[in-house]
Chains A and B, each alone.
Chain A
Amino acid sequence: MQVLNGFVLRRPASIAEAAALLADPGARALAGGTDLLANLRHGLDRPATLVDLTGLAGLDKLDWADTGVAIGAIVTVARLARDPRVIAELPALAQAARSIAGPGHRSAATVGGNLCLDTRCVYYNQSEAWRRSNGYCLKREGDVCHVAPQGTRCHAAYSGDLAPVLLALDAQAEIASPAGGRRSPLGELYRDDGAQHLTLGRGEFVIAVHVPAPAPGVRMAYRKSRPRGAIDFPLAGVAVALAASDGRIESLRVALSGTNTHPRLLEGTGELAGQAIDNALFARLGKLVQKQVSPMRTTVTPANYRRQVASALAQRLVKELAGVS
């Protein structure tokens, strides 16, 4: 059987060596492989080299401090879902981890791979033969986008489940590069382009995410809508971090996945501070979501459904977290 493309596997022993190997334009990072190897089997890329990050010492840790936790890039999603301290202190992150794919994927899937997974589209996540018979598409090997044929850009949806939670919690990404390293707000890892949704330069890769300890009183949750109760990517995934007292909002952060080419932190929630948690607030929140998501025809489920469900999930989570029925 020959299903993969004849790449060379490299297993670097240090971050510097990995960064140097990844500087080669034909090299791709390999973590759990649950996204990358499935995509390679579909012929979605033909890398000359895969650089295995899972042997890198120090990237498999959850490092807790008073200020928050540093999550190493090769910590598995299964571990995140089961870790008692994550469940207790960052419940939304454990919920998101538990909702990713199936148990057989989660034992291999990593945090870094989840943050960096490829964007998705019904015209793209198909076999080589399927895509060829459809003339390929703009994202790879073709020159038309079948979702928006008049346009010149790709609208494939970012569909990772961890990123919205980490955005709602104001996490930072720590990035290694051949020149050293840098740390930046997680949102800066992404850009609004389905064909090239990461801002990582050559040789750069994620080595950790730093999640600040939530302020006292903050409650959080993650929920996703999907065709089946397991395995499926989010049609829309919503993370909420809320502090409320006396029936009013103190602080609110909402972030979304599955609806845009990048995970999106909802803008304008700062202005809801001090507002009473009532139907008028839910209507305002719902409008904010509807305005800022831009689902396109990239799933078999209609875009408008994903817009509505994103808005409904955001409202429902705020209701539940605030204890309003």
Chain B
Amino acid sequence: MKRIVSLTVNGRRREDAVADDLLLIDYLRELAGLTGTKRGCDGGECGACTMLLDGEPALACLTLAARCEGRQIETIESLAANGRLNRLQQAFHEKLGTQCGYCTPGMIMAAEGLLRREPHPSEAEIREALSGNLCRCTGYVKIIESVQAASGDAS
């Protein structure tokens, strides 16, 4: 079955006809053309698809698009304003928090959710906020340092 959903994606209202069984990750990547949100596993294991749903980090691969009526979705594409990277993107770039880059959109969106709630998180809070996001390249240390740098708390 298809239904019309209206939702906000990266600040823009959209209205689309979506099938009941369409996952938000496919909605974002295929329908909205926003491929920044990555698919790293077959469901809920890796965090690569993390985006913000009403400001809270959530997994696009375990979310039904048809249930997003009236909700606010923010993806990695929303962060840079006027061609300028936001503080997390800039910090991941400078502190080598990104290598192959596949986990990076999910990492940054999880960290963005954290910094909005807690602008100066402790290292333990950063680790907890990123604990659902896997990275196969960096070994995580540089990622944590990047988040610390973005919060202005670099050591």
A134 and B57 CA atoms in complex are apart in Å by 36
A87 within 8 A of B: no
B64 touches A9 (CB 8 A): yes
Interface size class of B (residues with CB under 8 A): 20 to 34
Q: Which residue of B lies closest to A107 (CB)?
A: B56
A104 touches B132 (CB 8 A): yes
A184 within 8 A of B: no
Interface size class of A (residues with CB under 8 A): 20 to 34
Which of A37, A78, A102 has a CB less than 8 Å from the CB of B43? A37
B132 touches A103 (CB 8 A): yes
Q: Which residue of A lies closest to B67 (CB)?
A: A52
| Interface of chain B residues 29 through 72 with chain A (CB within 8 A) | 29-30, 42-45, 47, 50, 53, 56-59, 62-64, 66-67
A104 touches B21 (CB 8 A): no
A34 touches B62 (CB 8 A): yes
B132 touches A37 (CB 8 A): no
A108 touches B43 (CB 8 A): no
A108 and B71 CA atoms in complex are apart in Å by 13
Q: With a CB–CB cut-off of 8 A, which chain A residues contact B19? A: 6
The verdict on A5 contacting B21 (CB below 8 Å), with A38-B43, A102-B132, A105-B132 known, is yes
A153 within 8 A of B: no
Total number of A-B contacts with CB less than 8 angstroms?
A: 88
A231 touches B132 (CB 8 A): yes
A104 touches B43 (CB 8 A): no
Q: With a CB–CB cut-off of 8 A, which chain B residues contact A107? A: 53, 56-58
B86 within 8 A of A: no
Q: Mark A212-247, 1 if CB is under 8 A from B, else 0.
A: 000000000000000001110000000000000000
A127 and B41 CA atoms in complex are apart in Å by 11
Q: Mark A31-55, 1 if CB is under 8 A from B, else 0.
A: 0011001100110000000101010
Q: With a CB–CB cut-off of 8 A, which chain B residues contact A64? A: none
B56 touches A78 (CB 8 A): yes
A246 and B14 CA atoms in complex are apart in Å by 65
The chain A residues found within 8 Å of chain B, CB to CB, are: 1-9, 11, 33-34, 37-38, 41-42, 50, 52, 54, 78, 101-105, 107-108, 127, 229-231
Q: Could you jot down 10 A-B contacts, CB within 8 Å?
A: A8-B1, A8-B20, A33-B63, A37-B43, A50-B20, A78-B56, A104-B50, A104-B57, A104-B59, A108-B63
Other A-B contacts than A34-B44, A38-B62, 9 sampled, CB-CB below 8 A, are A2-B21, A9-B67, A33-B63, A102-B131, A103-B131, A107-B53, A108-B62, A229-B131, A230-B128
